[in-house]
């Protein structure tokens, strides 16, 4: 470990995990360069955030411009980037979702979403899904079940929060196989209403349309549509947490578009401002209108510089065709990974939408966290940064910036394959 990092680490809490020991000098696009001039491909996008690539020149220029004229409003003044962002967001959000509350981080947007749901419905119950990650502040942590470490020693959580299994087909809670699945996870919900809380006391259901931290899992077609039907029939608000899956990550502005489902409330963050702190609670005017002035607020939320970065980010995604690039590159990555899966026994499952792709490692049918650790370390040594996710930390999350080119994908996957060989984790079939 670099000596300066070691010194700083003395003062940084161990609770904060920093995934590599790389001390960055500069970054551009998919590449990060350390202080010694070593270059890395960043297939993490800084936790699925730098969707336009590191330091996109148009985003940097917008930040510079705004920083030199007006930095902070604290909800005292209006400023041009806020007005422009309202229009830009309105152009890309699902139909009818036209009203916004801007805040700073994903967890804050989730807090806003559940407060809005309770306030609007006058109901207390919240239903989340086991395996989901929604953030670390107390309300969001009450919904989060992707790993027990986010919950241990923090009880009691928010009352009236319940959980139902996320449809994680590769490791089904109900031991079904995709070929014979009868969607027990949906039947369970009906049982749930009979045994635990009546639907008329539930304010909202909150779910990630593609599971992020919980394992990069795409739910089966039809699951979210059925949830939408249940919510509409029972007057429960459907909250789709698009903090990670939104802003083009899956090849559409929002992952919900793949499933033809329109939520009632949608928290968005991460990729929205290419790395500056910004998040937003999105909903319909009719719902937001019932949230009276002062019922929610913020000092820093929607700050001028982040809003300017977000307007530039949306422009770049549109002008550079990044949604399409995410779809094309995503399909290319999936195809290459599936052919690796045929060769290497350690790859149990490959799945994803756009550039939100999970590679699940197994050994003798069980999650293989040890193997993944060795493969990731070997990749890092060779200049490829990837990280893992999932409750057993046995899934590689592949989330390169949406600007990634085919040659960068080829280089990255080449390194991945060398790492499988070098470590012996791959073990040919």
| Residue 402 burial (CB count, 10 A) | 30
The DSSP element (H or E) to which 266 belongs, if any, is strand 265-268
Select from 105, 121, 306, 423 the one that contacts ligand PLP (CB under 6 A): 105
Q: Which residues contact 364 (CB under 8 A, 6 or more apart)?
A: none
**Count of residues in the chain:** 429
CB 277, min distance to ligand PLP, A: 8
Of 210 and 413, the one with the shorter C-beta distance to ligand PLP is: 210
Number of residues engaging ligand PLP in binding (CB under 6 A):
15
Both structure tokens of 214 = 């919980």
CB 418, min distance to ligand PLP, A: 29
Select from 107, 121, 145, 378 the one that contacts ligand PLP (CB under 6 A): 107
CB 303, min distance to ligand PLP, A: 15
| Site membership for ligand PLP, residue 213 (CB under 6 A) | yes
- String marking each residue 230-249 x if it binds ligand PLP according to CB under 6 A: -----------x-xx-----
| Residue 156 burial (CB count, 10 A) | 7
Is 283:114 a contact under the CB 8 Å cutoff?
no
- String marking each residue 28-57 x if it binds ligand PLP according to CB under 6 A: -------------------x----------
Per CB under 6 A, the segment of 103-111, 182-190, 378-386, 401-409 that binds ligand PLP is 103-111
Of 353 and 362, the one with the shorter C-beta distance to ligand PLP is: 353
Q: Which residue's CB comes closest to ligand PLP?
A: 106
Per CB under 6 A, the segment of 75-83, 206-214, 223-231, 339-347 that binds ligand PLP is 206-214
Of 77 and 138, the one with the shorter C-beta distance to ligand PLP is: 138
| Site membership for ligand PLP, residue 212 (CB under 6 A) | yes
Select from 56, 118, 134, 252 the one that contacts ligand PLP (CB under 6 A): 134
Cα–Cα dist 348/363, whole Å = 8
- Residues between 269 and 288 that touch ligand PLP (CB under 6 A): 269
3-state secondary structure of 137: coil
- String marking each residue 110-129 x if it binds ligand PLP according to CB under 6 A: x-------------------
Task: Using CB atoms within 10 Å of the CB of residue 369, give its burial: 0 to 12 exposed, 13 to 18 middle, 19+ buried.
Answer: middle
Q: How far is CA 412 from the centre of its chain?
A: 21
CB 165, min distance to ligand PLP, A: 17
| Site membership for ligand PLP, residue 219 (CB under 6 A) | no
3-state secondary structure of 153: coil
| Residue 364 burial (CB count, 10 A) | 6
Cα–Cα dist 19/218, whole Å = 25
Cα–Cα dist 42/354, whole Å = 17
Of 208 and 349, the one with the shorter C-beta distance to ligand PLP is: 208
Cα–Cα dist 336/408, whole Å = 13
- Residues between 381 and 420 that touch ligand PLP (CB under 6 A): none
Radius of gyration of the chain from its Cα atoms, rounded to whole angstroms: 21
Is 379:23 a contact under the CB 8 Å cutoff?
no
Measured over the CA atoms of residue 20, residue 322, residue 244 and residue 169, the dihedral's sign is: negative
Measured over the CA atoms of residue 128, residue 134, residue 136 and residue 139, the dihedral's sign is: negative
Binding site for ligand PLP (CB under 6 A): 47, 105-107, 110, 133-135, 208, 212-213, 241, 243-244, 269
């Amino acid at each position: 470990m670099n000596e300066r990092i070691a010194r700083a680490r003395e003062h940084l809490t161990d609770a904060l995990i920093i995934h590599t020991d790389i001390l960055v000098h500069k970054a551009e696009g998919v590449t990060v360069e350390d202080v010694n001039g070593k270059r890395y491909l960043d297939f993490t996008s800084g936790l699925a955030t730098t969707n336009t690539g590191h330091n996109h020149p148009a985003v940097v220029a917008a930040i510079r411009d705004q920083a030199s004229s007006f930095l902070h409003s604290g909800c005292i003044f209006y400023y041009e980037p806020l007005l422009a962002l309202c229009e830009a967001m309105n152009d890309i959000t699902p139909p009818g979702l036209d009203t916004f509350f801007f805040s700073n981080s994903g967890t804050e947007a989730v807090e806003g979403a559940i407060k809005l749901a309770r306030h609007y419905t006058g109901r207390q119950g919240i239903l989340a899904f086991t395996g989901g990650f929604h953030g670390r502040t107390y309300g969001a942590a009450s919904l989060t079940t992707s790993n027990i470490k986010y919950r241990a020693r923090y009880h009691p959580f928010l009352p009236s929060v319940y959980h139902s299994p996320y449809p994680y087909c590769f490791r089904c809670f109900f031991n079904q196989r995709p070929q014979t699945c009868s969607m027990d996870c949906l039947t369970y919900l009906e049982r749930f209403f009979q045994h635990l809380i009546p639907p008329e006391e539930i304010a909202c259901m909150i779910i990630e349309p593609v599971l992020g931290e919980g394992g990069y899992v795409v739910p089966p077609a039809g699951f979210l549509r059925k949830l939408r039907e249940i919510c509409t029939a029972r007057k429960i608000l459907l909250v789709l947490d698009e903090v990670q899956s939104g802003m083009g990550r899956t090849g559409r502005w929002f992952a919900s578009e793949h499933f033809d489902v329109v939520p009632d409330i949608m928290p968005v963050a991460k990729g929205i401002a290419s790395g500056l702190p910004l998040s937003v609670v999105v909903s319909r005017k009719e719902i937001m209108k019932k949230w009276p002035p002062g019922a929610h607020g913020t000092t820093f939320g929607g700050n001028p510089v982040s809003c300017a970065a977000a307007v530039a980010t949306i422009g770049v995604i549109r002008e550079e065709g990044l949604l399409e690039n995410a779809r094309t590159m995503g399909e290319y990555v999936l195809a290459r990974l599936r052919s690796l899966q045929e060769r290497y026994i350690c790859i149990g499952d490959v799945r994803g939408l756009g550039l939100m792709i999970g590679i699940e490692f197994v050994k003798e049918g069980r999650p293989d966290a040890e193997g993944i650790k060795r493969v990731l370390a070997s990749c890092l040594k060779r200049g490829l940064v990837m990280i893992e996710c999932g409750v057993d930390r046995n899934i590689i999350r592949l989330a390169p910036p949406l600007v990634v080119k085919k040659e960068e994908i080829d280089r990255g996957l080449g390194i991945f394959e060398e790492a499988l060989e070098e470590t012996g984790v791959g073990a040919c079939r």
